[in-house]
């Protein structure tokens, strides 16, 4: 019998008419929407008796099933009832949408107002006719009496009104089933939130912090949407009741934009990265404005429908680029966005009154958000793993060449030594030990190696303290670059100060050699500055950081010129003109360099010429 009634009502709805009456009989639950007719009340001043008297003006609702869209005007709903003998007694009127601001319920019997209830967020939770997550009230029905329900719906947001009359047992079964579902999904969100925060604390990976914000906002949106927040978290707190839906939706978009920008950073055009940050800023500003009641929910709805999907659309080129090169992160992103787009489109359709409101459509956004949370966690793990491997590669490439401070800059991503090379203005420092040939002939190989390692240990520290990077060791000499990978305001001055520190370091080195009964050493240093291509050179399995260009050749030849000019330090005019002070510099004029045109140079720290 129930199936025949539903089929008959469905045919009437297709024809644009409402089914004549809802029948309360032996069924434990009755869907009222097929019998609903609606009347707009633009002024909101219609009294219940007047609405009852205007029954002939009610018409079948326009739009989709159980949803009236986003109109701000007050709407009256009318449901005529037939109460059989088996349908007498208490029934629970349930409106399975928790975000309605106010719904006044009127029961008319034989043309007289017999009972009224007020539901919605305007009613204190403890004073609700039936305490629960939905808008519900117990109503008494008497058989053989002409009975009608009138509902006055007044809410600034979506008018989603899935109406049922159920016996108390059926109502509780349905309520408990939904509570179990919401509890399970809320626990999932809570676990993912704790995990992401723990990962952020352990790894200091900002991607997890952005993911945590996304999980928090998505979970809180669902908690609010299904009435769990009002029931357990912010009971009778007016601000939360009015604003949580808009705030969580806006901030979820902010978090998504930040997450996508971070996860796809290396594959997104800089313009798209800036656009994603702009979306995040826009939605954050809108959140503050909405929270302060500067804008209303209608503006939030417009913003969400126009820019809510922007993070996915802007991230699509980066995801495609990753997928084309075989990175599974790109495929995961596209899978996530497909589900999210479908779920969001369904939910927007319900809110706008274009898609039927039922169990699946009302849960569509929650399903899409849960899918997003799980897939984004997978993406966060994959990206973090890739970044950790990259950090290991960088540490392997640069450890010992740069200072610990610069190493941390590189690992954090604030310094990016480009694998393909980039042009930089740098200063090259070449240095070697004078008299090394004779010393190496008189020492055992093991002793010579120990001597060089001890000397270079102090030298590397000096270079690092002045912001330089040791890029190569060559027997008794080494090469350092200033200005890459760490940018310096004045690479030439930093390199010159490092050269002076190397000379000052000789006193301590020679003191230790004297204590060991060994002859002292002397060094030569050559400096030149200019444009060079800096980056990794070599194969994928074996490479090193280097500076390529004429500046390197000139610096090497200036270091060799220290043997003939009589100065420990020989620097080009290009370096000298950038020094904070030229004190102590002796102009050498054009210095002849093997295989190169002469270069104007200066010397400092005189030594005996001709030492080899």
Query: CA dist 208 to 205, 262, 513, Å?
Result: 6, 10, 53
The length of the chain in residues reads: 612
146 beta partners = none
| Same CATH fold assignment for domains 2-166 and 427-606 | no
pLDDT of residue 8: 41
pLDDT of residue 416: 56
Cβ-contact 242, 248 below 8 angstroms: no
Place of tokens 């800036």: 274
Of 104, 97, 225, nearest to 163 by C-alpha is 97
pLDDT of residue 412: 61
118 beta partners = 104
Choosing among 3.40.1400.10, 3.40.120.10, 2.60.40.2380, 1.10.287.3610, the CATH entry for 2-166 is 2.60.40.2380
| 3-state SS class at 103 | strand
Question: Where are the chain's structural domains?
Answer: 2-166, 188-393, 427-606
Listed as ranges, residues in the chain with pLDDT below 50 are 1-19, 608-612
Cβ partners under 8 Å of residue 397, min gap 6: 417, 536, 543, 544, 545
**Token duo for residue 265:** 């950073």
H-run or E-run covering 256: helix 238-263
Cβ-contact 260, 317 below 8 angstroms: no
Q: How far apart are CA 549 and CA 267, in angstroms?
A: 30
| 3-state SS class at 378 | helix
What does pLDDT average to over the chain? 87
Sheet of 29-31: strand order equals 29-31, 163-166, 89-95, 135-141
Domain covering 427-606, topology: Alpha-Beta Plaits (3.30.70)
Q: How far apart are CA 515 and CA 510, in angstroms?
A: 9
Q: How far apart are CA 129 and CA 147, in angstroms?
A: 20
User: pLDDT, tens digit, for every residue of 295-343?
Assistant: 998 899 889 888 888 998 899 999 999 899 888 988 999 998 888 889 8
Q: How far apart are CA 182 and CA 51, in angstroms?
A: 37
User: pLDDT, tens digit, for every residue of 425-444?
Assistant: 999 999 999 877 677 777 78
Instruction: Give the count of beta carbons closer than 10 Å to the beta carbon of residue 520.
Output: 12
**Phi, psi for 47 (deg, rounded to 5):** -80, 155
| Residue 16 burial (C-beta neighbours within 10 Å; 0-12, 13-18, 19+) | exposed
pLDDT of residue 92: 96
User: pLDDT, tens digit, for every residue of 204-249?
Assistant: 889 999 999 999 999 999 999 999 998 999 998 989 988 999 999 9
């Amino acid at each position: 019998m129930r199936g025949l009634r539903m089929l008959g009502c469905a045919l009437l709805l297709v024809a644009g008419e409402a089914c004549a009456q809802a029948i309360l009989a032996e069924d434990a639950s009755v869907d009222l929407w097929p019998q609903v007719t609606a009347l707009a009340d633009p002024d909101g001043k219609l009294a219940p008796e007047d609405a009852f008297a205007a029954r002939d003006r009610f018409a079948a609702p326009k739009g989709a099933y159980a949803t009236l869209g986003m109109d701000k005007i007050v709407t009256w709903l009318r449901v005529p009832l037939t109460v059989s003998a088996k349908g007498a007694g208490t029934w629970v009127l349930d409106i399975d949408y928790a975000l309605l601001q106010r719904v006044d319920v009127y029961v008319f019997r034989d043309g007289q107002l017999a009972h009224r209830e007020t539901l919605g967020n305007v009613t204190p939770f403890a004073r609700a006719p039936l305490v629960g997550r939905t808008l519900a009230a117990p109503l008494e029905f008497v058989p053989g009496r002409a009975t009608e329900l009138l509902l006055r719906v007044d809410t600034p947001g979506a008018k989603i009104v899935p109406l049922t009359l159920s016996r108390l047992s059926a109502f509780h079964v349905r309520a408990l089933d939904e509570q179990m579902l919401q509890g399970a999904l809320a626990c999932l969100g809570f676990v993912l939130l704790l995990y992401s925060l723990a990962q952020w604390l352990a790894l200091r990976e900002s991607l997890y912090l952005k993911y945590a914000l996304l999980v928090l906002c998505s979970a809180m949106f669902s908690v609010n949407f299904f009435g769990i927040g009002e029931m357990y978290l912010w009971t009778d707190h007016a601000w939360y009741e009015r604003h949580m839906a808009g705030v969580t939706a806006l901030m979820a978009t902010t978090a998504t934009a930040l997450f996508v920008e971070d996860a796809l950073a290396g594959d997104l055009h800089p313009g798209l990265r800036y656009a994603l940050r702009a979306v995040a800023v826009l939605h954050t500003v809108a959140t503050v404005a909405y929270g302060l009641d500067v804008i209303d929910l209608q503006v939030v709805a417009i913003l969400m429908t126009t820019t809510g999907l922007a993070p996915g659309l802007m991230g699509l080129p980066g995801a495609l680029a990753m997928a084309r090169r075989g990175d599974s992160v790109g495929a995961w992103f596209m899978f996530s966005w497909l589900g999210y787009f479908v779920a969001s489109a369904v939910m927007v359709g319900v809110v706008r009154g274009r898609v039927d409101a039922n169990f699946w459509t009302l849960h569509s956004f929650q399903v899409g958000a849960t899918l997003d949370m799980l897939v984004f966690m997978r993406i966060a793990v994959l990206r973090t793993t890739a970044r950790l491997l990259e950090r290991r590669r960088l540490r392997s490439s640069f450890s010992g060449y740069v200072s610990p401070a610069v190493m941390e800059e590189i690992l954090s991503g604030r310094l990016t030594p480009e694998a393909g090379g980039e042009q930089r203005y740098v200063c090259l420092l070449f240095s070697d030990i004078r008299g090394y040939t004779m010393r190496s002939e008189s020492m055992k190989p093991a002793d010579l190696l120990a001597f060089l390692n001890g000397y270079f240990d102090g030298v590397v520290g000096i270079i690092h303290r002045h912001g330089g990077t040791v890029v190569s060791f060559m027997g008794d000499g080494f090469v350092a670059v200033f200005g890459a990978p760490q940018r310096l305001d004045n690479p030439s001055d930093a390199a010159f100060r490092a050269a002076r520190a190397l000379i000052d370091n000789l006193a301590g080195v020679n003191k230790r050699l004297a204590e060991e009964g060994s002859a002292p050493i002397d060094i030569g240093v050559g400096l030149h500055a200019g444009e060079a291509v800096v980056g990794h050179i070599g194969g994928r399995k074996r490479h090193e950081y280097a500076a390529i260009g004429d500046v390197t050749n000139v610096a090497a030849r200036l270091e060799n010129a220290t043997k003939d000019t009589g100065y420990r330090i020989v620097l080009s005019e290009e370096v000298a003109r950038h020094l904070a002070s030229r004190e102590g510099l002796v102009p050498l004029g054009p210095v002849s360099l093997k295989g190169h045109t002469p270069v104007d140079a200066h010397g400092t720290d005189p030594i005996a010429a001709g030492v080899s």
